[in-house]
Structure 1
């Protein structure tokens, strides 16, 4: 009798579960459909301006909201969730918080409560001088002479690099080796100046900035002009045609350029470096000319230039606001791994994340299978080695949901990342905490040098500010890895219980777009291990590939790679659902009379 009763109760529970899931599917489908249709503006011709047809009413629907399209909407939803979480943590006792929660909440409180003076750029410069027992020039005081002989620009630049300052005079990164993408090396290159954040502001704004940093009114105007002239000279040097990579030892690099690279590396890495230590360098001639140029410049001018660019860097890397939503953004930028962990622990119900993970992997694998089938059809008439290279790269491409390492316990990993961030609370010095987090991020970035086989072991990304704030998937070119932030796994982009047509046309298209980045103009030259590939170069140079790129660029764009990933990505997602070999149902869903093909678009 007991057995019968138990079976009956299990059956009832199962039926309730099935009914509950069916209701969830119905609600999710109706909600997504209504949301999508609310944006459609049928007064526009879909063939003439598809965006205005499909999304023409989006801004009207969200006219009171602080976002302008669907990806920034998901970012906003993530930020609001974290604001609510911080409010909840504030009501709990410190003893009940996990170690990571305490650290995150501590920085959040610093951001909300720290005096304005601790955000001041002068305070940053006081905490980060240009050298040991050496101040920045404007802090020397009228009664003192700035000790210019003690200023070593490469040593100062290395110190600032430890706080994340890159792309100033020297662009230093940790990148996969060009010849063997399974190992990382220090990569040295000339700087880029394309973005506004990569160069000084106009003369008037530079002058005002100098005055705010303590430079006298009398000196600021002349110094601003001299700094701009110096930067222009450096930009002219950087205009030289790119030279290929070369692996050089420190002693070879010092002989070629005349720079004190050994001391630079020792400060950056935090330990002694052998003269035989190898780095990967591009554009050696640029560094020869740069060092010659600086040798003839006034040291105070060079120090002032580095100072300005460092201040710009700290401003770019902070929201400079104590508003709740901005402090959440600060946390996402500066404690990205910790925030990813808290999202996983707080915003997925128990056992729910595994279901999300299975669904995302299923879509990714279907996309990959469809792509491999298309490679076999060989529309581009690739030769056998070329098809083999593309197929191997697809098979080796991996996906990371949440940007936390797959092979480690996530909480232990995050605790280790921020183990040196245990400043006492309240610690209401914003700049001190911000600088400490910048150091931690750089340290994580440098740790990649210690991994013998990052393709298998180091499957996450030390995100920059832009990537940290985005919930949109992105492709790591050299790692052959698609990162899927947790924040994208929410409606209106992804509903766990929604119809497959929504899953493939929304998140599936985003994944297809990122997959295609590995095979369009910028990605095809790297193989499955992220190494430079002669086979990939030959594909890129083939007449059919070039014809495809010319066709895509008939109406010229500065973002050809993005256009190629968009167009080929939407085709791949469409074929994944409707093409040969698809396992998805084409049966008309009951919740709408709109055809599946139209619904897809």
Structure 2
């Protein structure tokens, strides 16, 4: 390994983070080795999380300054939601909220979201649907990070006598005997089912009742298999039964009815998720970042040019028709900044946002009702089925109304899905990359930073999203978002393409699209900075030195630095460590600059579709 790595680290101020691990064996450890220790006291768990946290701190500051003259209605909605979130909350309020939800004719996923948020005192959960309830209960079962008064909960099974005393719903909302049978069928196995499997017992705090857990907890030490079984049992229960059951469990607890408050940054985060367009409008008004667009557009055009070189090389020997199809799609691909329209007057933009939220009402003193109103508004956008978007951290396929994704339209944002975080994504139906302006902040981006930092950071991000238009799934859709059956048939008959596709499937399975986007995005960004082309902008005359190339790879890897113990591995992406190491695997420029042995390449085959 070349010792210049130390001087690169000193130049960038990274020395406390870097560890002298062998970059050829574990490059993530080299770039991010001490990140968790250095940031142990920070409120975020990853470099990406820092972008969102800083953005939300700025938003909270603006909301706490108070109302300004002639503010549009949607800003009052934002202020009212934030104010209600910051008010003290009590268990009595939670019980009243649960009573109202249980009494509704239909208890949908939004109502269950509010119920669980209220009962377990946690931030807004993901928009819940049947297919992800297992993940939500797993999340609740492994919560160990909160301080809580255990006198406020009771984790003993509910007896029939207690059940009869607590039951107050009558026969109007739910059949009492059915509720008792469901409750007994759930609680008895919770206390007795050891789940015979080969799983080890849970370590340390994971073997204790989770934070603010009011359901029964077994006397024996549970295993991972037991938690999976319990999460599945709860996920299979109906929405109304879960709300009734949690209501009874909360009423069973004896002890102080203390109040609690949601943290400032978390309330700003929720306000941003629930009312994203007003939050973006307020932030852009006070912290405009639109002047950065020409820079990003230049980088994006260079990435397109490099990918065009790959396509024109035509290593797959595609037919002329398919070649033209791919090149046309690349040429028409666009980059859009912000979920707000760009080419309209301030007055027109205010009218559009007001119209988008005209049926939303907020009360500055009623947090849970506001939360339900926001979730219901978001779910309405989910009912229209015409687009697919891909997110860099959690690849998703979600419906998006076509009329709202036009060049000058509002982009519909969904809570905990896309558009409400510093997460770029690719829109298949529009053949467009959308980059929220919250992504343009330190440590990923600072105004006037060195080009090498821009290309190795934002260049990689844009290259990743560009690649989604040509990944094994996205390549089948043309520049207008329509499936091309002729191209699909040719791809199925093309021997080399299918061989590389089998390589991706064999190595990564369901993660193939994201792994392909990581590897190809890194190659495009590296080529755009270090390789010469007629479209190049002026850059550092020293580019191409060993130090610069090491600096490029280190900055790329630090985009993924995180507290791996605290972060969940995305099903589509794998861990942050895997993402870094898989992306550089078998990339020849990386091998050369870090003096990795030739045998390193042979052990790590990389799959290239184009």
TM-score range, shorter chain: 0.5 to 0.7
Q: Number of matched residues?
A: 432
TM-score (ref. length: structure 2): 0.61
Deviations 1:195-237 (A, max 9, x none): 52399999x99988x989x768986563147689xxxxxxxxx
Q: Structure 1 residues 119, 549: closer, same or farther in 2, change over 3 A?
A: farther
In 1, the alpha carbon distance for the partners of 2:552 and 2:441 equals 18
Q: Does 1:416 align with 2:416?
A: no
Q: 2:300 aligns with which of 339, 347, 364?
A: 364
Q: Is residue 306 of structure 1 aligned with residue 280 of structure 2?
A: no
Q: Distance in 2 between matches of 1:552 and 1:448?
A: 29
Give 1 or 2: higher helix fraction.
1
Partner of 1:384: 320
> Structure 1 residues 505, 448: closer, same or farther in 2, change over 3 A?
same
What runs of 5+ residues in structure 1 fail to find an aligned partner? 1-29, 132-155, 166-189, 229-301, 313-319
Post-superposition offset of 1:460: 1.9
2:274 matches 1:339: no
| Superposition map of 1:340-355 within 5 A | 340-348=280-288, 353-355=289-291
Contact 2:63 2:79 in 1 (8 A): yes
2:135 maps to what in 1? 196
Q: Does residue 451 of structure 2 align to residue 500 of structure 1?
A: yes
TM-superposed deviation, 1:63: 2.8
- CA deviation map 1:551-574 (0-9, x unaligned): 345544542211111011101111
In structure 2, C-alpha distance between the alignment counterparts of 1:195 and 1:303, rounded to whole Å = 8
Q: CA deviation at 1:389?
A: 1.9
Match of 2:552? 600
Please state how far the C-alpha of 1:549 moved relative to its aligned partner. 3.1
Q: How far apart are residue 66 of structure 1 and its match?
A: 2.4
Would you identify which runs of 4 or more consecutive aligned residues in structure 1 move more than 6 Å?
161-165, 198-202, 204-208, 216-219, 225-228, 309-312, 447-450
Give the Cα–Cα distance (whole angstroms) in 2 for the partners of residues 373 and 311 of structure 1. 61
Secondary structure, aligned partner of 2:476: coil
Is 2:81 the partner of 1:107? yes
The residue aligned with 2:17 is 39
Using the alignment, how far apart are the partners of 1:310 and 1:510 within structure 2? 41
Q: CA deviation at 1:54?
A: 1.6
TM-aligned CA deviation for residue 469 of structure 1: 4.8
Q: CA deviation at 1:111?
A: 0.6
Cα gap change, 1:305 to 1:447, in 2 (>3 Å): closer
Question: What residue is the counterpart of 1:185 in the other structure?
Answer: none
- Structure-to-structure mapping, 1:274-289, within 5 angstroms: none
- Residues 253-291 of structure 1: per-residue CA shift (max 9 Å, x gap): xxxxxxxxxxxxxxxxxxxxxxxxxxxxxxxxxxxxxxx
How far has the Cα of 1:381 moved from its partner?
2.1
Give 1:569's aligned residue.
Answer: 521
**What's the secondary structure of 1:367's corresponding residue?**
helix
CA contact (8 A) 1:107 1:433 kept: yes
Query: Structure 1 length normalisation: TM-score?
Result: 0.62
Q: Helix, strand or coil: the match of 1:400?
A: strand
User: Which deviations, in whole Å up to 9, do the C-alpha atoms of 1:151-180 show, x marking residues without a partner?
Assistant: xxxxx47xx378798xxxxxxxxxxxxxxx
1:112–1:323 CA contact under 8 A, matched in 2: yes
Alignment of 1:373-452 (within 5 A): 373-408=309-344, 409-423=348-362, 427-445=364-382
Contact 2:112 2:239 in 1 (8 A): no
1:64-213 aligned at under 5 Å gives the runs 64-87=41-64, 89-90=65-66, 95=69, 97-113=71-87, 115-116=89-90, 120=94, 123-124=97-98, 126-127=100-101, 129-131=103-105, 156=106, 160=108, 192=131, 196-197=135-136
SS of the residue aligned with 1:465?
A: coil
Q: CA–CA distance in 2 between the matches of 1:570 and 1:334?
A: 34
What is the CA distance between 1:48 and its match in structure 2?
Answer: 0.8
Gap change, CA 1:86 and 1:227, over 3 Å in 2: same
Q: Is the 8 A contact 1:512 1:573 kept in 2?
A: yes
1:50, distance to aligned residue in structure 2 (A): 0.9
Distance 1:480 1:549, change over 3 A: same
> Which residue is 2:424 aligned to?
473
SS in structure 2 opposite 1:399?
Answer: strand
